Amino acid sequence: MKVWKYLLKKEFKQFLRDPGMPRMVFCFPFLIILVFPFAANMEVRNLSLVIVDSDQSDQSALLTEKCASSGGYFKIREVTESPSDAQAVMDRGGADAILTISSGFARYLESDRDTNDPLPVGIKVNTVNGTRGSIGSQYLNAFVTEYVASVSGAESQGGAAGTRFDTRESYLYNPSLDYKTFMIPALIVIAITMMCGFLPALNIVSEKERGTIEQINVTPVSKTAFILCKMIPYVAVAFFMVFSCLGLSYAVFGYGCRGSLLDIVIFTFAHIVVMASFGLLISNYSDNARQAMFVIWFFSMVFMLMSGIFTPIQSMPGWARAITYANPLRYFADAMRSIVLKGCTLADTWPDLLSLAGLGAFTTTWAVLSYRKTT
């Protein structure tokens, strides 16, 4: 017991002795909650729009006004009568979409017509960014269709003649459709992974470079005690960060946790065991900090991009989905979103916990066995 007490005291002293570490741990939650949710925003807004108004009617002017007052979805870059001028603006990167209101638009709205008559409106979209272009096209098409229906009283182009469908939509778990609500649990996962996965990887390497690890190697301290005591300070750091982030998100955005905080503690502990032991595993096989940093960078990119945090796992090809089963971020991010946003319990999320526990047992065992202790 004295050995464990000595090792833990040593690890916490080393952590606090570095002036940058405590500051980083304290400042990182503020960066994660107050900056990243606004910067890492996947909502498609502020689409730069050029309108080609060849009709020059009151109806085309009203449609242009509707697009201009879209609530931040579109910004009218230019209104012109020349399709070539509009195309030139898009070619220069000044427009995300071109809305062409052809001549005869007003007559189309005022005349008796068959529902299959084509609408004299065209949409061109810049699809260099395919996702932004596709969603922007849907937004613009919805604005035009809604305007035509409101003016003429006709159903949308997809509806059957003489039929009207009234639907009631219910948005569960994120009723405001706010992307920050979706991303904050994932950003907490990223913060904990970076702080408690990267730092342990540099721990043993830095002791190798300073030569202090030799003092431990010549003592009868077991490899298990040495590795576990290396991990414990980062468990404390993780708990501080997760509760700081949750507190800040509630204070700033009003986002509360619908589930149990105890469940979050359990999942955080399981995830930290995986990441801290994985970081120490990298440190065991690295000869210097530069080598360790490169390996950390490689795995961090793989973990984050193939975790379902930014893109749905279901949209990945089969071989990529298979790789995600070995990714601890997949299980932790899924559990955090389920607990924080849906109010799920361990009865709902136990498969994720079981997977994290299995990965933690594997990486911890490997880290202990791979540590080369010389006496």
The number of angstroms, rounded, from the C-alpha of 357 to the middle of its chain's C-alpha atoms is 24
**Farthest CA pair distance, the chain:** 94
Mean pLDDT value of segment 344-349: 90
What predicted TM-score, i.e. pTM, was given to this entire model?
0.73
Q: What are the tens digits of pLDDT across the range 107-166?
A: 888 776 655 667 788 888 888 777 677 888 888 888 888 888 887 654 444 444 444 434
The per-type count for the chain, helices as H runs and strands as E runs, is 16, 4
Query: Which tops the pLDDT comparison, 163 or 97?
Result: 97
Query: Which tops the pLDDT comparison, 139 or 3?
Result: 139
Determine the pLDDT at residue 326: 93
User: For residues 213 and 204, is the Cβ–Cβ distance under 8 A?
Assistant: yes
Determine the pLDDT at residue 328: 93
Q: What are the tens digits of pLDDT across the range 151-176?
A: 765 444 444 444 443 445 566 677 77
Distance linking the first and last C-alpha atoms of the chain:
21
* Per-residue pLDDT band at 13 (split at 50, 70, 90): confident
- Residues whose CB falls within 8 Å of the CB of residue 229, separated by 6 or more in sequence, listed in order: 4, 7, 8, 10, 11
Residue 274 CA to residue 67 CA, distance in Å, equals 50
- Residues whose CB falls within 8 Å of the CB of residue 247, separated by 6 or more in sequence, listed in order: none
Determine the pLDDT at residue 374: 59
Please name each of the domains of the chain with its CATH number. 2-40+176-370 (no CATH), 47-152 (3.40.1710.10)
What backbone torsions phi and psi does residue 30 show, to the nearest 5 degrees? Answer: -65, -40
Provide DSSP, 167-222.
Answer: ------S-TT--HHHHHHHHHHHHHHHIIIIIHHHHHHHHHHHHTTHHHHHTS---
- Listed residue (5, 17, 26) closest to 237, CA to CA: 26
The sign of the torsion formed by the CA atoms of 20, 21, 25, 31 equals: positive
